[in-house]
Structure 1
Amino acid sequence: MTTDHIEAPERVYPATTTGERQALEQWLEFHRVTLAMKCAGLSDEQLRTLAAPPSELNLLGLVRHMAEVERGWFRKVLAGEETTWLYADDEDHDRDIHTTEGDTYAEAYATWQAEIAHARELAAEHSLDDLGAGTHHRTGDLINLRWIYLHMIEEYARHNGHADLLRERIDGSAGL
Structure 2
Amino acid sequence: MTNTHGSPPDWEPPLTGTDAEQVVAALDRQRSTFRWKAEGLDADGLTQRIGASSLTLAGLLNHLAFVEDLYSGHELSGTDVDARWHSLQQEGGWTAHFSPDATPEELYALYDGAVARSRERIAAALVQGDLEQPTHMGIPDVGQANLRRLLLDLLEEYGRHTGHADLLREAVDGRVGEDPDEGWVPPWY
Q: Which interval holds the TM-score relative to the shorter structure? A: 0.7 to 0.9
Counterpart residue number, 2:75: 77
Q: Which amino acid aligns with 2:26?
A: W
Structure number with the bigger relative contact order (C-alpha 8 A, sep ≥ 6) is 2
Q: CA RMSD in A?
A: 1.9
Structure 2 distance, partners of 1:145, 1:93, is 27
Report SS of the residue matched to 1:75.
Answer: helix
Partner of 1:143: 145
Q: In structure 2, do the counterparts of structure 1 residues 19 and 135 end up closer, same or farther at CA, with 3 Å as the change threshold?
A: closer
User: 1:61·1:98 contact (CA, 8 Å) conserved in 2?
Assistant: yes
SS in 2 for 1:125: helix
Indicate conservation of the 8 Å contact 2:62/2:98, yes or no.
no
User: Residue 4 of structure 1 aligns with which residue?
Assistant: none
Ranges in structure 1 where 5+ consecutive residues have no aligned partner: 1-9
Question: Who is 1:88 aligned against?
Answer: 88
Whole-angstrom distance in 2 between the partners of 1:85 and 1:52: 30
TM-score normalised per structure 2: 0.77
Contact 2:137–2:150 (8 Å) recurs in 1: no
Does the 8 A contact of 1:11 with 1:34 survive in 2?
A: no
2:24 is paired with a residue whose SS is helix
Q: Does 1:61 align with 2:59?
A: yes
CA change 1:116–1:142 in 2 (3 A) is same
Aligned to 1:5: none
Report SS of the residue matched to 2:145.
strand
Residues 88-126 of structure 1: CA distance to partner in whole angstroms, max 9, x if unpaired? 1423522x3124541222112212222222222222232
Residue by residue over 1:117-168, the C-alpha shift from the partner in whole angstroms, topping out at 9 and shown as x without a partner, is 2222222232211111x233xx334111111111111111110100111111
Whether the aligned pair in 1 keeps the contact of 2:41 and 2:104 (CA below 8 Å) is no
Q: Structure 2 regions of 5+ residues with no counterpart?
A: 1-8, 179-189
The answer as to whether partners of 1:67 and 1:116 remain within 8 angstroms in 2 is yes
Please give the TM-score of this superposition, normalised by the length of structure 1: 0.82
